[in-house]
Amino acid sequence: MRKKKSYMNKNSLLSEGFFDKLKNFLQLRPKIDKKEFFDKGMSKEINSLNKATDKFEQSLKKRFGDDYPDLPRFTWRDFIKL
């Protein structure tokens, strides 16, 4: 008869606390506070980027006409993954 090599009961992962350990691991990830992100001036920078995109889009429409599609605007979610 073979000896059991692992202390873990493979038939019942719930009783071994597997999901509790997984939950604790996922909670340890650093989180970005949205207010802190905007307080650092990133919203001003994104607004200036969108204004520059507006100016570029106007120049494109002057050159190629109104049939040129609109360019997408940026949000803070484009740069930060929560």
Question: How far is Cα 40 from Cα 44, in angstroms, rounded to an integer?
Answer: 9
Lowest average pLDDT, out of 8-12, 25-29, 32-36, goes to 8-12
Domain layout of the chain by residue ranges? 32-78
Please list the alpha-helical segments (H only) found in the chain.
18-27, 34-39, 42-64
What is the band of 38 on the pLDDT scale with cuts at 50, 70, 90? low
Give yes or no for a contact between 15 and 54, defined as CB atoms under 8 angstroms apart: no
pLDDT of residue 26: 74
Summarize the confidence of residues 17-41 as an average pLDDT: 70
Grade residue 51 by pLDDT with cuts at 50, 70 and 90: very high
What pLDDT is stored for residue 15 in this prediction?
Answer: 57
Angle at 35 between CA 31 and CA 38, to 5 degrees: 105
Supply the pLDDT for residue 67.
83
